[in-house]
Amino acid sequence: MSLSVTVCAAVFGGASAAFVPRPAHRLAVPRGDHPRSTCAACAAALTTWVRAGAPCPCARPPVWTVMAGAVVTGVLAATTGPALMLLVLLPVAMLGILLAVIDLRCLRLPDALVALLGVATVVPLSLGAVVAGDPGRVGRGMLAALLSGAIYLVVALLPGGGLGLGDVKLAAVLGFTLGFVGWEALVAGLVAPHLINGPAALILLLTRRAGRRTGMPLGPALLTGALLAIALT
């Protein structure tokens, strides 16, 4: 992939991620609650969903969110070959960042956003594969989605599994894309999240910033693991 395409993708990612904080702030609420209509810090009214920069004038600029958007899309552009794959993954990456931010804030992955992520990946990739005469990739992706969802569902049902159904649904959605890329990507995408969350949990325990029963978001690790799997396989 050319340097110009990578740079353009990174600029797109950074600019798009600047719009993530406002919807993330509004949607980071407990399950069953309506989206937030006022700022959690200063109680100022949040009348719109679209705002570049901080979710509210009282908040700090979203430097880390913008950097994450630029890095994620830049990595995808630098490592993804097919043009269709890249065109699909660039906007999908923004949905992934939105889900990650929400999960970090309230340990929840909204079903509507996970479903939107699934539609935004499964539909265009499937259509593209069929048009290109390679429907086998769609079947492999579907099987990978079932396997990923089943594995994470079993873990979620185990006592002390520590997973929510949102994690299971996200794993299934990401499993399709990973399976679409290949079986190696699927295996890497299943293993990587736990290699990411494991050391993070250990550090939090050692520094006493979390206890054994403290919930940890798995969504960001699932998304990061999928990114690494796609980039490295």
DSSP structure class, residue 201: H
3-class DSSP string for 107-121: CCCCHHHHHHHHHHH
How far the first Cα of the chain sits from its last, in Å, is 15
Q: How many beta carbons lie within 10 A of that of residue 111, not counting itself?
A: 12
Q: What is the widest separation between alpha-carbon atoms in the chain?
A: 55
pTM for the full model?
A: 0.92
Query: How do residues 3-20 score in pLDDT, each as one tens digit?
Result: 888 999 999 999 999 999
Query: How do residues 92-110 score in pLDDT, each as one tens digit?
Result: 999 999 999 999 999 999 9
Which amino acid is it at 164? G
**Residue 105 contacts residue 24 (beta carbons within 8 Å):** yes
